[in-house]
A and B are shown apart, each in its own frame.
Chain A
Amino acid sequence: MNTENCITLKDLAIGYSGNTILSDINFSLKKGEFAVLFGPNGCGKTTLFKTILRIIPPIHGTIVYGGDYTPRFGYVPQRQYLDEIYPFTAEEVVLMGTFGQRKPFYPTSRTDRLLVDQCLKDVGMLELKKEFFSELSGGQKQRILIARALATRPNVLLLDEPITGLDVLAQKKIIELISELHKKRQLTIMMVTHEVHHIPSWVKKIIHIHHYKVVLGSLEEIISLSRIDEIPT
């Protein structure tokens, strides 16, 4: 694995409208690393995630992106927040990933179409590309959103609760897909989850939000911390 830091958070404080949710956040992600951001519902995982993605400005501190390059993010949002009123086909959702690199008034290029097909193929959804996105199952939608993130040609993939609300089989398949992408494409990956059993056992780096503090540890350490919390006082 590369030792160069891809994202470094220094003395970061995050929140909305000046109200701090989490402070003293210090950690870094190395190139090609797989990290899981774990914590209970409402602890500030998504806020931290969105701050890293530059969607929300930090209240205090800095985020340094890469050494000699700015990472390109592939973002996979929580699918339930996407409105189903839009009559998109699966292919059109993936095509959105290319919009950041295209100028206005230019039609969609053949290169983009090929890229979209390749991303759909990589997530095993090529044959369903003409289907309505809103009519796909939860697992299939998740695959399409991962394909959309891949279409941005990312070097960092950030997934917000990618397996929440899926059945066990679909969860397993999505985790397999993410780990395959991590290995094949050497992507730096950060995944958010609030369920400890959603964390793949081979993940070495877990960023745990515990009692409003950000703690780094291995899966075993996180499980012990969670168990301590479960002990009645």
Chain B
Amino acid sequence: MEHLLEIINPHFLLRNAFYAGLIVGFVCPQVGIFFVLRRMVLLGIALPQVSNAGIAFAFLLHTIGWHFFPHMESEKTMALTGSIIFALIAIFILAILERKRKGFTENRIGFTYVLAGAVSILFVSWNPYGQTEVLSMIRGEIVSVPDFYLWSMLAIYGTIFICLIGFHRSFVVVSYDADMATTIGKKVILWDILLYLIIGIVISFGVMTVGPLVIFGFLLIPPVAARMVTRGIPLFCIVSSIIGVVASFAGFYISYRFDLPTGPTDVALLCVILVLLYFGKMLFRFKR
């Protein structure tokens, strides 16, 4: 109880990390819904890895004195830009290949994953300075989130959440039945681009805050768990975010209380929730 009160205290030292986790837990499942429903889960593994490569690349450029921002800008801004650019390029190339039905989806995503993983390590190893800092950024330093970063995250994730709610109908119909969407006047390609843009930004920003593992966990597990226990799309969306927020809150508490790394604790907790809901559903069916 003492630890819990400490965490929710507005003057808590690690409050930014706590709030960042809650934001990720709330918004990522809303994006993850489309990963799960459009059967793009594998892309959810590959894109954070691509984002990683972007961070490592930008950091490498920054270290060797090659800036695409004024020199006084922090390397984190550059890393974020690298992360977003890499993720968006990858997602658009993959989307175009998917639309043209070139080869197999699994092969393309697998190739992207190994390529991004390999170049991330190479970029880090070529970086003559600050390997530790780059690695910690790639892992997601959830304990050290500066104020500016938290506010930026709130603004970006908030905007994305509003877009997802406001354009929900279009995203759903375009994802479910693109032909029907065309007949009712939806520009399928534009909605797809907007959705991919949202996915790219959420992943890039999230990877820098909490790391690829946590982002993938929050994208995938809450919607999968919610789908098992809900009926209808609105409830599915609401329960996904509730699971994300609960896991983020409880995960932070457990990691703080028992001195564990926050990201892996969150993901492990999400898995526990998924398994419990699965067995709960089985039990419910058995009793009926």
Contacts and interface: CB of A to CB of B under 8 A. Distances in A.
B278 interface: no
Interface string B180-224: 111111100000000000000000000000000000000000000
Given A54-B183, A77-B180, A89-B231, A83 B39 contact: yes
A58 B99 CA distance: 19
A86 B232 CA distance: 9
A50 interface: yes
B48 to A, nearest CB: 22
B114 to A, nearest CB: 27
Contacts of A101: 184
Contact of A85 (B37, B167, B172, B182): B37
Interface in A75-110: 75, 77, 82-83, 85-89, 92, 96-97, 99-102, 104-105
Main secondary structure on chain A at its contact with chain B?
loop
B230 interface: yes
A192 to B, nearest CB: 13
Among A83, A87, A92, A96, residue most surrounded by chain B Cβ atoms (within 10 Å): A87
A75 B179 contact: yes
Contacts of B169: 96, 99, 102, 104
A87 B236 contact: yes
A171 to B, nearest CB: 23
Nearest to A160: B179
Main secondary structure of the interface of B (DSSP, over half): helix
A129 B217 CA distance: 34
Interface in A177-203: none
Contacts of B179: 50, 53, 55, 75, 77
Interface in A150-176: 152
Q: Which of A77, A99, A130, A132 has the most CB of B within 10 A?
A: A99
Nearest to B36: A85
B182 A87 contact: no
A27 interface: no
Q: How extensive is the interface on chain A, given as a class?
A: 20 to 34
B47 to A, nearest CB: 20
Contact of A96 (B165, B166, B177): B177
B176 interface: yes
Contact of B185 (A86, A96, A100, A148): A100
A73 interface: yes
Given A85-B39, A87-B236, A89-B231, A55 B173 contact: no
B170 interface: yes
Contacts of B236: 87
B13 interface: no
Interface in A54-82: 54-55, 73, 75, 77, 82
B232 A92 contact: yes
B227 interface: yes
Contacts of B230: 87
A96 to B, nearest CB: 5
A83 B170 CA distance: 17
28 contacts: A50-B179, A53-B179, A54-B182, A75-B180, A77-B177, A77-B179, A82-B176, A83-B37, A85-B39, A85-B227, A86-B37, A86-B176, A86-B233, A87-B227, A88-B176, A89-B232, A92-B233, A96-B169, A96-B180, A99-B173, A99-B184, A99-B186, A100-B186, A102-B169, A104-B167, A132-B231, A152-B183, A152-B184
